[in-house]
Amino acid sequence: MEYFKLQIGCMLIVLYIAFIYIREMKAYGIHKRDMTFEKFWITGAISIIFDGATAYTVNHLDIVPSVINGILHMFFLCSLDAIIFMMFMYVLDITIDIPKKKWERFIYTIPFALCIAVVIIFLPELQYIHGDVTNYSMGIPVYTCYAMVVLYTIAMIVVYMISRHNLDKHKRITISTCIIGTVVVTVFQVIYPQALITCLVPTLVILGTYLNLENPVFGKLKAHNNEMVMGFATLVENRDDNTGGHIMRTTEYVKMLARGLKERGFYRNELTRDYMDNLIMAAPMHDIGKIAIPDAILQKPGKLTDEEYAIMKTHAARGGEIIRDTFGSVGEDDYEKMAYEVARHHHEKWNGKGYPDGLCHMDIPLCARIMAIADVFDAVSAKRCYRDAMPLDKCFQIIEDGIGTDFDPVIARVFLDMRDQVEKVSANYRN
């Protein structure tokens, strides 16, 4: 047991995490379709088991048959490769999203597949070195594993650097844990090969991922926050009985448009998974400032006077203030910033003639530029107390006419290019 005490300790930690994870999932009634984390810690547990087994066999070469020792080392090295590869894919998934195209996924898999092949082919050349404290294995299979760890760690760093500005703090901590833990353990293992501490990599990663991202408590709190946001937005919408399903439609337009932009390669670095999740939850709050507008103006059946319109325009600035006052202490800084920008700037125009701040071009936050198109399209395509809904052809023409003046040209053209999907959303949520 003296050779695999560390592996036993790591295994107990991983099993304890699995136990409390499953218990909390049942307690909160959470059912996940995505089993990535579960596969992650199962693979990590397998890697730790084979790590402990090889730590024993490499120090008992006199009693363990060489064939069994070789097979156990093969499974250990392959499982270590698998946990590093899964770690990279997990980081990719929670930041930029795993590519949907098969050829892109294939490219990411090539180093992993080659490493597995090299480990199996060159397994007979595995060397067992007698150290001062413990024996250890070296040779081409081991060197190949080190090379793969370095390659995928560099890839994780690149992904993190590209998307870090649009990641929430929990994901930044998780990815930092993955990178720092892998680098420190790998460097130490290379310098002191007798240490046999590779089991710390899956343990640290699983622990950090659970504590910062996969804890079911976070999922339950997020669900409650989402309900609060929708309840707040619905409260405002109910004051204006002319809007009907405005919140649902604009949110769907925003979701559709953000995904369309990303699929076409526009603003890809900005449109991370976190950014899009926050945007979809911020969209219902875009008109929250209307809660401060008098009913006589908000529900007026006719055209507003200049004075009334000036008061109505204040809803954008007031909305930003309400977001700051209401959500400033929630602890979700990224969401608060997004909701603030959507509420305050969704009436800004590309040419700088909007309100309340007269921003233009890229000075207008991306989320607000997306929201502006969704809001205008729904405003003209829905029935209001002072006019009937415009024909959809006319609505799309308004968006087209606003390219380069009212709207970001790229976002507006993508919206027009998605006309079939827009019409489906309009029909599905029409009262």
* Per-domain boundaries in the chain: 5-214, 218-428
CA distance 178 to 85: 12
Which among 352, 346, 343, 340 has a CA at the least distance from the CA of 377?
A: 346
Question: Which residue, 87, 147, 154, is CA-closest to 119?
Answer: 147
What is the structure's pLDDT at 241?
Answer: 53
- What is the rounded average pLDDT of the residues 134-146? 92
190 has pLDDT over 70: yes
pLDDT at 35: 76
pLDDT on residue 265: 86
pLDDT > 70? residue 100: no
**Which of 136, 114, 115, 116 has the alpha carbon at shortest distance from 126?**
136
Strands (E), 178-323: none
Quick check: do 5-214 and 218-428 share a fold? no
Instruction: Answer for the pair 52, 199: CB distance below 8 angstroms, yes or no.
Output: yes
What lies within 8 Å, CB to CB, of 366 at 6+ separation is 267, 270, 271
pLDDT by residue (tens digit) across 303-329? Answer: 888 898 899 999 999 999 988 887 655
Q: Does domain 5-214 have CATH number 1.20.1070?
A: yes
CA 343/CA 29 separation, integer angstroms = 34
3-state secondary structure of 42: helix
**Backbone phi, then psi, for 127, in 5-degree steps?**
-110, 145
Whether omega for the bond prior to residue 356 falls within 30 degrees of 0, making it cis, is yes
Q: Are 347 and 315 in contact (CB under 8 A)?
A: no
Q: What is the C-alpha to C-alpha distance for residues 380 and 39, in angstroms, rounded to an integer?
A: 48
**CATH match of 218-428 with 1.10.3210.10:** yes
**410 versus 322: which is more confidently predicted?**
410
Q: What is 258-289 written as a DSSP string?
A: HHHHHHTTTTTTT--HHHHHHHHHHGGGTTGG
The closest of 1, 18, 34 to 203, measured between CA atoms, is: 18
Distance CA 268, CA 368 (A): 16
Q: What is the mean pLDDT of residues 130-147?
A: 90
Nearest residue to 341 via CA among 326, 363, 361 = 363
CA dist., res. 140 & res. 122, Å (int)? 7
What's residue 2's pLDDT?
Answer: 65
Q: How confident is the model at residue 387, as a pLDDT?
A: 61
Please report where in the chains the tokens 């996969």 appear, as a residue. 214
pLDDT in tens, 366-376: 999 999 999 99
pLDDT tens-digit series, residues 332-358: 677 888 999 999 999 999 999 999 999
CA distance 213 to 251: 25
pLDDT at residue 372, as a whole number: 96
Q: Which pLDDT band, with edges at 50, 70 and 90, does 229 fall under?
A: confident
Average pLDDT of the chain to the nearest whole number: 86
- State the pLDDT at residue 325: 82
pLDDT at 333: 74
* Lookup result for tokens 């080659």: 114
Residue 136 dihedral angles phi and psi, to the nearest 5°:
-155, 165
Question: With 70 as the cut, is the pLDDT of residue 388 above it?
Answer: no
Paired residues of 403 in beta bridges = 407
- Alpha-helical regions (H) of 34-139: 36-57, 66-95, 102-121
Rounded average pLDDT over 165-186: 86
Give the least confident one: 236-250, 281-295, 367-381: 236-250
pTM of the model: 0.74
Q: Assess whether pLDDT exceeds 80 at residue 77.
A: yes
In three-state secondary structure terms, 127 is strand
